[in-house]
Homo-oligomer: A and B are copies of this chain.
């Protein structure tokens, strides 16, 4: 039995941010992190870029290595330490084949998310790989290099990025998506832009459900409800679920299935906190609890949890839910809600869809397709874009959504004009003007 001031389960973005914050504010406290792999502060967002060969060593997916946290920040990081039991005031961790008990004063769940399973026949066949923690990166890369045909199941962010990564290796790629469009959290107009780019480069099969994997010793075919696809490798990226196996015995979960937290990132139990992909927080646009499993919110939740665990006060306001990605020449981004998500949330909506050059007309910089969704009172609910010049519009949009902006704010926010990169009437502003009309504003 050993006593620690702070026990943190999980050494990813949230866990290490919290640990760093606590040690910065309370240098004398004993802060212990239990990480089941060899790696900490791992950022799986980079996996597709490792696979496509942008960098050589998959350790680069880690922002810092273990020794940095140990030596520079004084955090007692235990790697290959799998927590197997959690109870009031103590945890049990398996380290070097032995179980050890640690008593904690305060506890943080930073257990992240895990890959959603397909639950179909033979999904454990050799050559069927789930995109999961950073260890899967190496398995995928090694296997992809030896393959000719690769099937990717799922076309969320990871599926789309993986499709580009694998096709960049010169492999024949088939993407199978159960919904009728890629990136199904986007509205159809925006997803259509991505679809037409994907169709040029990969075989994209929509509205198909994978029903089984087949093969003798290893994967040979993916079977769907509509056909079958030969392959040497099947990569499954059909989303993630919060990893709450340990937490659910100790603290309450929210509707989303992630751990319920308050704005201090404290769970239903005093002294027990949760942050990152395992935690439920607030969607700033809807004001309702939501599970937003993204890297930047995870880091900030960790930061906030750390401040509060250290005995100071900082509130996490929630997240706008903002992401950008790309597929070859098409950038894609979203902040807040798409139209169908807004309707599902019960909003009466208006929307404007704008297609325009991204920069001044005399620059050959390509088009941006941009959609803004607002409610009947003019409050902006979401911005989506595809094409060129997407990132900067999404940066502007997320800031406005964070500040609860309305369409008038969107119109007047002074987005700068510089002919090579933007327009005197920015697409965001044109969309706002269209919404003025639809809302009966002058």
Contacts and interface: CB of A to CB of B under 8 A. Distances in A.
Contacts of A429: 296, 300
Interface in A315-351: 316-317, 319-326, 333, 335
B402 A414 contact: yes
Nearest to A412: B317
A415 interface: yes
B362 A60 contact: yes
A426 B322 CA distance: 13
Number of chain copies forming the complex: 2
A84 interface: no
Contact of A25 (B45, B325, B442): B442
A398 B415 contact: yes
A307 interface: yes
Interface residues of A, number: 70
Nearest to A336: B414
A422 B45 contact: no
Residue of A324, A333, A412, A421 ringed by the most chain B CB atoms within 10 A: A412
A205 interface: no
A409 B403 contact: yes
A250 interface: no
Interface string A278-306: 00000010000000001111011000000
Interface string A31-67: 0000000000001011001100011000010010000
Contacts of A425: 296, 299
Contacts of A333: 416
A392 B411 CA distance: 17
A426 B296 contact: yes
Given A361-B60, A442-B307, A398 B413 contact: yes
25 contacts: A45-B419, A46-B419, A49-B363, A50-B362, A60-B361, A60-B362, A63-B424, A296-B424, A296-B425, A300-B411, A319-B414, A322-B414, A323-B416, A324-B421, A326-B420, A333-B416, A391-B418, A393-B395, A394-B416, A396-B399, A398-B416, A399-B400, A402-B412, A402-B413, A403-B405
Please name the 9 residue pairs, one residue from A and one from B, whose CB atoms are nearest each other, closest first. A399-B399, A403-B403, A395-B396, A55-B362, A312-B442, A392-B392, A392-B395, A320-B414, A322-B416
